[in-house]
Amino acid sequence: HNQIEQHNDSLLTSHQRKLNNLKADWSHLDIESIIQKLVDFQIAIPSWALGTGGTRFGRFAITGGEPRTIEEKIEDVGLLHALNGASGSISLHIPWDIPQNATELKALASSYGLTFDAVNSNTFQDQADAAHSYKFGSLQNVNKAIRKQAIEHNIEVIKQGVALDSNALTVWLADGSCFPGQLNFRKAFENTLESLEEIYSALPEDWKMFVEYKAFEPNFYSTTVGDWGQSLLYASKLGKKAYTLVDLGHHLPNANIEQIVSLLLMEGKLGGFHFNDSKYGDDDLTAGSIKPYQLFLIFNELVEGMDAKGMNHAKDLGWMIDASHNVKDPLEDLLQSVEAIMLAYAQALFVDRKALIEAQETNDVAKAQEILQNTFRSDLRSIVAEARLRAGAALSPIGLYRNLSCRNNLVQQRGQKTVATGL
Ligand code: PSV
Ligand code: MN
Ligand code: MN
């Protein structure tokens, strides 16, 4: 903490100057309440993004000091949270993560100010000790015994999550087909729904189930939860605890994600996000690295829609990152993702809503565009930095991470050739 204070002191004068200019330019806004919203906003870090990433063509180790255990993954997220004050939870993927002593893990997490976000089940890979293979799908499988195995795994994940005080299960299925004729779409849907119903009935009262959709990969002819329409269909049939989860990389090219978000919110069925960015497919690149304007437009709909419904921005949806790459230090990569998400949120909070509604009501198209682009093109980084400062975090998270040689320290502690569990 001393190190954070020293770091902040060294940047304070320049920070203050930028912030004051910004406040003067935007004096019509309630800046204090915007800063408070940014302080409250937390984004969950995926446990699987902390170590070696890769593609189906290969995996390259990170620069060393990779977390080997859940405990070390929690330490890494604790470090991120200390630096940016906005990464207050970790999302586990089971069985890539095998939480053994929930009481100890909770104590460790809370010593870093962390909680456990949604737990993820995994029926897209075969486990060494499993009786059945998921080669032809899990919850959709034509074989009831295989469906049962997948259902039981999900129920086990819920139990693990309950012990960790998590309150949501994310179900992403690789289920689908590779070739025409392989699958009866209706039966696959019905089997999947029936399986999800069994999982749903094992959810505690205050839990949510997130049904994540994806248009393609690993199946390339059909995916059984392939788009937001199918996810919404499952979630609607399941009941009020089931929601659609939007992963930004899971759409067909050029999909209007902001419109999807707006309508899911309208229906009360938007559960949350897996943030990442992409140029081609499910690239899982750093959030905001390719299409920052799209990220802003999504947040613009989120703020508009959540305010219309009186929702709490920080608490009422699941905010998660699902991005990882291995040409960067994963911790720096995650700091960049969180920063991009916070910035897009800040930009959306700065939009002149009243003027936008007026422009929309009078079909003043150019004005509407001006309003959105005006905030998007304004440099709001100092507002996000101010939120970090108030949260006791660093004005420049990556700057401090580098100054303190955090990666080197991890290599010293853990060794050069450590390999994280998981993908
Ligand atoms: C699938 O592409 C996905 O987005 C799901 O969320 C999985 O759980 C995650 O990636 C695993 O990498
Ligand atoms: Mn995802
Ligand atoms: Mn994905």
- Tell me the pLDDT tens digit for each residue of 378-422: 999 999 999 999 999 999 999 999 999 999 999 999 998 766 655
Is ligand 1 within 6 A of the CB of residue 423? yes
If residue 177 lies in a helix (H) or strand (E), which one and from where to where?
strand 176-177
Report how far residue 310's alpha carbon sits from residue 200's, in angstroms, rounded to the nearest whole number.
Answer: 27
- Which 3 state secondary structure label does DSSP give 410? helix
Is ligand 1 within 6 A of the CB of residue 124? no
| Secondary structure in 3-state letters for 12-69 | HHHHHHHHHHHHHHCCCCCHHHHHHHHHHCCCEEEHHHCCCCEECCEECCCCCCCCCC
Q: Which residue(s) pair with 45 in the sheet?
A: 90
For residue 423, the ligand 1 atom closest to its alpha carbon is 12
Is ligand 1 within 6 A of the CB of residue 212? yes
Separation of CA 226 and ligand 3 centre (Å): 12
Report how far residue 109's alpha carbon sits from residue 311's, in angstroms, rounded to the nearest whole number.
Answer: 27
Q: Whose CA is nearest to atom 1 of ligand 1?
A: 172
Is ligand 1 within 6 A of the CB of residue 274? yes
Read out DSSP for 191-254? HHHHHHHHHHTTS-TT-EEEEE--SSSS-SSEETT-SHHHHHHHHHHH-TTEEEEEETTSS-TT
- Closest to 191 measured CA to CA, from 127, 123, 96, 243: 123
Beta strands in 56-142 (DSSP E): 58-59, 89-91, 115-116, 119-120
Q: Whose CA is nearest to atom 10 of ligand 1?
A: 322
Query: What is residue 56's predicted lDDT score, i.e. its pLDDT?
Result: 73
Separation of CA 234 and ligand 3 centre (Å): 19
For residue 245, the ligand 1 atom closest to its alpha carbon is 6
Instruction: Say how many C-beta atoms besides its own lie within 10 A of residue 181's C-beta.
Output: 7
Is ligand 1 within 6 A of the CB of residue 172? yes
Percentage of the chain lying above the pLDDT 90 cut: 93
Residues within 5 Å of ion ligand 3, judged at the Cβ atom = 282
Ligand nearest the Cα of residue 218 is 1
Separation of CA 250 and ligand 1 centre (Å): 9
Q: Which residue(s) pair with 93 in the sheet?
A: 120
Q: Whose CA is nearest to atom 9 of ligand 1?
A: 322
> Taking the domain 2-414, which CATH number applies?
3.20.20.150
Residues of the chain with pLDDT under 50: 423
Tallying the residues shown for the chain, one arrives at 423
Query: What is residue 423's predicted lDDT score, i.e. its pLDDT?
Result: 47
Q: Are 166 and 204 in contact (CB under 8 A)?
A: no
Separation of CA 110 and ligand 2 centre (Å): 25
Q: Are 168 and 119 in contact (CB under 8 A)?
A: yes
What sign for the dihedral angle of Cα 189, 155, 276, 315? Answer: positive
Q: Whose CA is nearest to atom 2 of ligand 1?
A: 282
Domain limits of the chain? 2-414
Report how far residue 385's alpha carbon sits from residue 387's, in angstroms, rounded to the nearest whole number.
Answer: 5
Ligand nearest the Cα of residue 170 is 1
Tally DSSP H helices, then E strands, for the chain: 15, 13
Q: Are 132 and 143 in contact (CB under 8 A)?
A: yes
Query: What is residue 58's predicted lDDT score, i.e. its pLDDT?
Result: 81
Separation of CA 223 and ligand 2 centre (Å): 14
Report how far residue 105's alpha carbon sits from residue 56's, in angstroms, rounded to the nearest whole number.
Answer: 32
For residue 93, the ligand 1 atom closest to its alpha carbon is 8
Angle between helices 353-361 and 365-376 (to 10 degrees): 160
Separation of CA 175 and ligand 1 centre (Å): 13
Q: In what order do the strands lie in the sheet with 208-212?
A: 115-116, 89-91, 44-46, 318-321, 270-275, 242-247, 208-212, 168-172, 119-120
Separation of CA 121 and ligand 1 centre (Å): 10
- Could you tell me which residues come within 8 angstroms of residue 5 by beta carbon, excluding any fewer than 6 positions away? none
Separation of CA 247 and ligand 2 centre (Å): 5
Separation of CA 213 and ligand 2 centre (Å): 8
Q: Whose CA is nearest to atom 5 of ligand 1?
A: 172
For residue 174, the ligand 1 atom closest to its alpha carbon is 1
Ligand nearest the Cα of residue 169 is 1
